Each structure stands twice: as structure tokens, then as C-alpha cells.
Structure 1
Amino acid sequence: MELKNYIDHTLLAANATEEQIERLCREAKTYGFYAVCVNSSYVPHAKASLKDSRVKLAATIGFPLGATSTEAKVFEARLAAKEGADEIDMVINIGFLLDGKLKSVKEEIAAVKKAIDGRILKVIIETCYLTSDEILTASKLVAEAGADFVKTSTGFGSRGASTNDVKIMKQAIGDKIKIKASGGIRDAETAREYISLGADRIGTSSGIKIIS
């Protein structure tokens, strides 16, 4: 298992600068990470920095709260794809899920997937705010809506991923779609544990430390 092939090298801080985004991309190319993950406003800058490399570019949508309108998420996702994002990491409307508006949650995911013209869609369900049953329900919804990954966390909630989250997600989706574990993963041992439980991608700002 080469950990570098699982890592989305991530910088999503509110105070991230263009210089820091450039450094993130240089590091991803140097260490051979699978992708970088940035806020959508930095997609053009990151795309230019990743030119002539195999590193994929992921952009966050409706981040980090997930509470923007479906129309806003669709527009943001479509623009990010047009500007060069290979993958989209969107946040569900968590309040809608908790209110039982499951149809609305599912339709929003499907609308974003349709807008990005076949690109990879990862859907963040923010497990820190959900019960085990709600994680199960949300994960099934993500799969049914046609997304490619269900993702644990933004890293901005009350906690990041847990091994129990990933176990529940795997129980819900089986091999229908993939899992991205993110939030609080800072060492190789933890990353390997998540992968052994079924995670196909690891989102982290500690990628260099993990593979070193």
C-alpha cells in the first residue's frame, strides 16, 4: 500500500494565500499525492500550478457549512469544473437531512453531479453532527443520488473522521461507491487504519508527515 496514492493534499483555510496554494501544488507534485483539494476560488491558480503533472485537482463546493442553496452549489460546481477541477467535494445541506428532507438532499446531490459533466463527485455528510442511523441514511442517499464518494468531514466541524464513521458508511454502501475519510488524520498508522476499514481516499493537510 503506497499511502501517497490515497492522499488528497488539502488546504482549505480561510486565510490561505495564492503563495500557499502554489506551495501545496509543488508539494503534491514532489511527493506524488493523488490530488490537491482547494476552495473553488483557487481552482484556476491551482490548475496552472499543476500544469504538466498527474496530480488531480479537487474543489470544495458549498463549503464548509453546506447551507447554501442548491442553485448556488450547482453554479459553483459547474464553474469549478469549467475552470479545471477534476473532482468536486460538496457538502450536503445537513439541516435538511436532520429535518427529514431526504428527497431534497438526494436531488441536490444529483443536480451537482449532473452539472459537472462526468467528473468525480465526493459528498461530505459531516458525520460529527449525525447519529449512527443518520450516517447510515446519509451514506445510502449519496450512493442513490449517483455520487462517486461519500466523505466523512469538512475538518471544520466539532470533530473529524472516526473509525466508527467509516465502518457505518461501509455497511451502508458496500462496494457501490467509494469512501473518503478526512478530518484529523495526521499520521501513517491512522491513515492505514482507515484504508483497512474501506476508505479509498484520505483528505489531510498532513500528507508529507504521513508518508515520511
Structure 2
Amino acid sequence: MRTVADVAKMIDHSLLRPELTDDDVRAGCDLAARYDVASVCVKPCDVQSAAERLTGSGVAIGTVVGFPHGSSSSRIKAAEAHAAVNDGAGELDMVLNIGRLRAGEDEAVLADIRAVVESAPGIVVKVIFENAYLTDDEKIRACRLSEQAGATYVKTSTGFASGGATPADIRLMRAHVSDRVKVKAAGGVRTLDVLLKLNEAGATRFGATATAAILDELAARLA
């Protein structure tokens, strides 16, 4: 079984719910630092304060682009990404243009992803597909386009749609990107057993709000 430290460094502690206050975000950042997770994923308006609070902690600052529907123009997504990096973000989770993917407009989807990647050189970019709305063929095309655009990760879901990460989707996505591209699971990752099952399927990063419960459960099992 993996160590608590190993699993912690697979978790992006999610602080994206619209009702979260400044106090909630500060508490979430403190929890992320205490458990030494991979990153916090905060709303764009919270990037600067999170970066200040977590300086020197070893926890990366992530935020979202075109969230949650992916429907902003590519120009706006690129500007949003650039602003987030200037505020201190080192990781960006962008939602691709779901409608254009479903319509078969692959060149537009490619350009949309590439606009974000090129606006944030050297930054980890994770492309969110929102698999609840997609066929397997559309997921496969999204994998190919994300890799072609230079993304670092492909990601299952925002966590705000009707469905989230499944082992079948993780296996599909893992099979259709090269080893250079990693897979992130998000949506419904609320227990240790779910995380471990998705990890076995090929995911190496997880968006979660139940971070403390997951890691405390692993510590109890190892004890």
C-alpha cells in the first residue's frame, strides 16, 4: 500500500465551490499545507492570496480557466491563464470547448487548448473534458487534441456536472495519450477506496474536497 505522503502528493485540494468565503479558502490552504498535498485548486480571484499563504510550503497553486463550462473565447481563456500565472499560479485546469468538440470542430478545440498552453509557458496545464457529456469517441479525440496542443494532463471532469471520474474513463484516457501526458481524475473522488481504484486504472492526480478524510483513512489503515 502507498504511504500517506505518496497519496497526498497525488491530491489537488479543491476550493472551487462558489459559496466559499475568504476564511474558507484560508482554512483550505492551511489544510493543504498540513497534509502536504500536491496543490490547492482555487478560484481565479483567490490565487494571489493562496500563493501568499502557501509560500515555502511545497504546495503548488492551481486555478481554473474557462470554468466550469469551457465556453469563454480562446482569447479570454488565454488572458485568464496569463493573469493567473502573474498572480502566482503554477498549474492551470482549463475546460475545453465542449460544444465544439461534440460538433467535430477539432481544429477549433486544438486552437483553444493551444491558446492557454502558449499563454503560460512552463506551467502545468490540465485539460478538462467533462466526460459526462461525451461519447468515447469524443473523449479519444479530446485526448489526441490535448496532447497535440502540449497539455500536461487530461482530466475527466469539473466536478460540477452530473457525473465524475470512472475507472473505465481513466483507462480509456490513459490508453489514448502517450506517457508524456498524465491523467487526472475529478468528480466523486470522496473516499480512499475510490481514489485507489482510479489510481489503479491509471490516474496519478486527483481533485478532491474530502482530502483530510481520505488521508486520515489511509493513515488509520497503515497503522
How does the TM-score come out when normalised to structure 1?
0.98
**Aligned AA (1:188):** L
For residue 90 of structure 1, the aligned residue among 74, 80, 94 is 94
Aligned residues: 212
Q: Which moved more, 1:167-176 or 1:144-153?
A: 167-176
Q: Which moved more, 1:74-83 or 1:47-56?
A: 47-56
Structure 2 CA distance for aligned equivalents of residues 163 and 132 of structure 1? 13
Structure 2 CA distance for aligned equivalents of residues 91 and 43 of structure 1? 18
**Aligned AA (1:90):** M
Does 2:141 correspond to 1:133? no
Structure 2 unpaired stretches of 5+: 217-223
For residue 204 of structure 1, the aligned residue among 196, 202, 208 is 208
How does the TM-score come out when normalised to structure 2?
0.93
Structure 2 CA distance for aligned equivalents of residues 36 and 111 of structure 1? 23
Equivalent residue for 2:147? Answer: 143
Structure 1 unpaired stretches of 5+: none
Q: CA deviation at 1:117?
A: 1.9
% identical equivalent positions: 38
Output one character per residue of 1:25-83: Cα deviation in whole Å (capped at 9) or x when no partner.
10001011110001111101111111221000001010001001111100000000011
Equivalences for 1:4-15 in 2 at 5 Å?
A: 4-15=8-19
Contact 1:39 1:61 in 2 (8 A): no
Q: CA deviation at 1:176?
A: 3.0
Equivalent residue for 2:169? Answer: 165
Equivalences for 1:30-179 in 2 at 5 Å?
A: 30-179=34-183
Instruction: Give the RMSD, CA atoms, in angstroms.
Output: 0.8
**Aligned AA (1:96):** R
Output one character per residue of 1:70-126: Cα deviation in whole Å (capped at 9) or x when no partner.
111000000000110010000001001011111011111111001012110000010
Contact 1:152 1:180 in 2 (8 A): yes
Contact 1:18 1:45 in 2 (8 A): no
